[in-house]
C-alpha cells in the first residue's frame, strides 16, 4: 500500500509539473542535459562490455568521492566490470567526468517511478546496484529486488535528524530497508540508526568511511619524511602552526594570527600552504608590505631557517608538514570554498582546526566533532583564543589529538572492506571468479 501511494503521488506531481517544467528547460537551457536519461531513454548497447555490470548511484559531489575510492580499489583488485555511475545533480555529473574521464559511464539517475525504473533497468542490465551513503529511492530498490538484482548500501551514513524523520513513515521505510541485500556503514551509530529503521543487523558491517581511506603505509611514510624536512629541526620553545590549503581572504587572518601570538609564543613558526601556488606572489606582497620576514620552503634546502613565517612553494610535502605540526588549520573553511580534507590532519595525530564553511567535507567535520577530535572556529580571532587556551591546557588538547588519530585509523581500509563486500556478492552471482 505504501509503495502504491508513493507512486501515485509521484506520478501526479510529474503530470502536474511536466507541462511547465519542459518549456522552462527549453527556454532557460537549465536541466536540459540528461533529461532523456532521467526518463530511461539512452543507448545502452554502448555501455555493455563485461558480464559484470556495477551500477553506482552517487547523488552529488560528496558521494562521487566515495565512488572514486571504491572504483580505485576495484581497479587495484583487477575486477573486470562495466562501471556505471548515476547522479542526481549536474555538479555530480561534472565531478564524475572530472574524476574518471572515460573510465566509467556517467548517467543521470532515473525518476523514481516504476515504469521509468523498469525501462532503465532493462536497458542497463546491472548485476549489482550500489547506493552510496543515504540516497534511498524506494521504487528503485523495490524493482531491483523484484528482478533479483543485488543491492548494496555502501559508505552508509544516517544522521540522527534523518532517522527521526524516517520514523514518521516507519512501516513504509522498513519495507524499503528490506530491499537491501547487505550494507557497509561508516560507524556504530549509523548501524544503530539503520537497524532502528528495519535493516537487519546481520546484513550490516561497520567499515569506516571510504572517502577518508588513508592507508597506514601512506601516513607512516609522511611521518618518516617529516623527520627529513630541511630547516625544521626542533628548537627550544618552538611551536609549529601549519595552515594547509589556504585561500584568498584566509592568509591575512593567519598573518594577523602570527603577529598576535608571537608575544605570547616567541618560538612560534607559522607555515602557510596556499591551495594554489600561483597565489604565492600575492602572499609575498602582503608580507613585504607589513615588513615581516619570511622564507620560501624551497629555500630551506640548506637547512638554515632565518624566519618565523614559511610559505610552502612546492607540492607533495603537506602531509609531512602535518606530521611535524603542533597545530593544524585546514583552509578553504574561513571563506566559502567548501573546506578541505581534515582527515589528513587527523591521520597524523592532530586535532584539526577549521572554519564554518565545510560543505564539501561536512561528514568528516561531523565525525571528528562528534568524537571531540576537531575544533570549528568562527574567525581568525577565535582560532587565536583556541590555540592560546590549548597551550595552557595541554592535557585537553592531547586528548583531542588522540581521539583524532583513533577516528582516522578507524577509516583505514574502509574501501578495501567495502570492495570485499562487492566481490563477495559478485561471486554469489557467478559473474567473476
What residue spans of 158-299 are helical by DSSP H? Answer: 160-166, 170-177, 188-196, 216-226, 251-261, 280-289
Residue with cell 572515460: 102
Give the C-alpha separation, 6 to 197, whole Å. Answer: 18
Contact between 85 and 67 (Cβ < 8 Å): yes
Give the C-alpha separation, 245 to 86, whole Å. Answer: 30
C-alpha cell at 25: 528547460
CA angle 243/348/416 to nearest 5° reads 120
Give the C-alpha separation, 232 to 373, whole Å. Answer: 26
C-alpha cell at 375: 575544533
Known catalytic residue at 73:
no
Torsion of CA 270, 275, 277, 282, to 10 degrees: -70
Report how far apart the first and last C-alpha atoms of the chain are (Å, whole number): 41
Choose the catalytic residue: 63, 250, 344, 384: 63
Distance of CA 388 to the CA centre of its chain: 30
Quote the DSSP letter at residue 55. E
Report the catalytic residues.
Answer: 63
Amino acid at each position: 500500500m505504501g509503495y502504491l501511494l508513493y507512486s501515485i503521488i509521484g506520478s501526479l506531481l510529474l503530470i502536474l509539473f511536466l507541462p511547465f517544467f519542459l518549456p522552462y528547460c527549453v527556454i532557460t537551457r537549465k536541466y536540459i542535459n540528461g533529461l532523456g536519461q532521467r526518463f530511461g531513454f539512452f543507448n545502452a548497447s554502448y555501455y555493455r562490455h563485461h558480464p559484470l555490470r556495477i551500477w553506482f548511484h552517487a547523488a552529488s559531489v560528496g558521494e562521487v568521492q566515495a565512488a572514486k575510492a571504491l572504483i580505485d580499489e576495484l581497479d587495484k583488485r583487477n575486477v573486470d566490470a562495466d562501471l556505471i555511475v548515476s547522479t542526481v545533480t549536474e555538479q555530480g555529473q561534472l565531478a564524475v567526468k572530472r574524476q574518471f574521464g572515460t573510465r566509467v559511464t556517467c548517467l543521470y539517475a532515473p525518476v523514481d517511478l516504476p515504469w521509468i525504473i523498469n525501462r532503465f533497468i532493462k536497458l542497463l542490465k546491472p548485476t549489482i546496484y550500489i547506493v552510496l551513503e543515504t540516497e534511498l529511492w524506494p521504487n528503485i530498490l523495490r524493482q531491483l529486488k523484484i528482478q533479483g538484482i543485488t543491492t548494496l548500501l555502501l559508505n552508509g551514513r544516517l544522521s540522527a535528524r534523518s532517522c527521526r524523520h524516517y520514523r514518521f513513515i516507519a512501516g513504509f521505510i522498513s519495507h524499503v530497508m528490506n530491499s537491501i541485500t547487505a550494507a557497509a556503514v561508516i560507524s556504530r551509530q549509523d548501524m544503530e540508526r539503520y537497524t532502528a529503521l528495519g535493516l537487519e543487523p546481520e546484513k550490516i558491517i561497520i567499515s569506516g568511511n571510504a572517502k577518508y581511506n588513508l592507508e597506514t603505509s601512506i601516513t607512516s611514510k609522511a611521518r618518516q619524511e617529516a623527520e627529513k624536512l630541511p630547516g625544521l629541526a626542533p628548537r627550544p620553545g618552538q611551536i609549529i602552526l601549519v595552515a594547509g590549503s589556504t585561500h584568498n581572504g584566509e592568509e591575512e587572518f593567519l598573518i594577523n594570527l602570527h603577529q598576535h601570538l608571537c608575544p605570547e609564543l616567541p618560538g612560534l613558526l607559522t607555515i602557510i600552504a596556499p591551495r594554489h601556488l600561483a597565489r604565492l606572489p600575492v602572499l609575498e606582497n602582503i608580507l613585504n608590505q607589513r615588513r615581516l620576514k619570511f622564507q620560501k620552503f624551497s629555500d630551506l634546502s640548506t637547512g638554515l631557517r632565518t624566519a618565523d613565517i614559511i610559505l610552502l612553494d612546492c607540492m607533495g610535502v603537506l602531509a609531512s608538514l602535518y606530521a611535524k605540526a603542533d597545530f593544524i588549520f585546514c583552509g578553504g573553511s574561513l571563506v566559502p570554498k567548501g573546506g578541505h580534507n581534515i582527515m589528513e590532519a587527523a591521520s597524523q595525530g592532530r586535532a584539526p582546526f577549521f572554519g564554518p564553511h565545510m560543505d564539501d567535507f561536512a561528514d568528516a567535520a561531523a565525525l571528528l566533532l562528534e568524537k571531540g577530535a576537531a575544533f570549528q572556529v568562527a574567525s581568525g580571532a577565535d582560532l587565536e583564543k583556541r590555540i592560546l587556551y590549548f597551550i595552557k591546557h595541554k592535557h585537553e588538547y592531547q586528548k583531542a589529538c588522540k581521539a583524532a588519530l583513533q577516528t582516522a585509523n578507524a577509516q583505514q581500509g574502509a574501501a578495501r572492506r567495502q570492495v570485499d563486500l562487492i566481490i563477495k556478492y559478485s561471486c554469489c552471482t557467478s559473474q567473476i571468479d
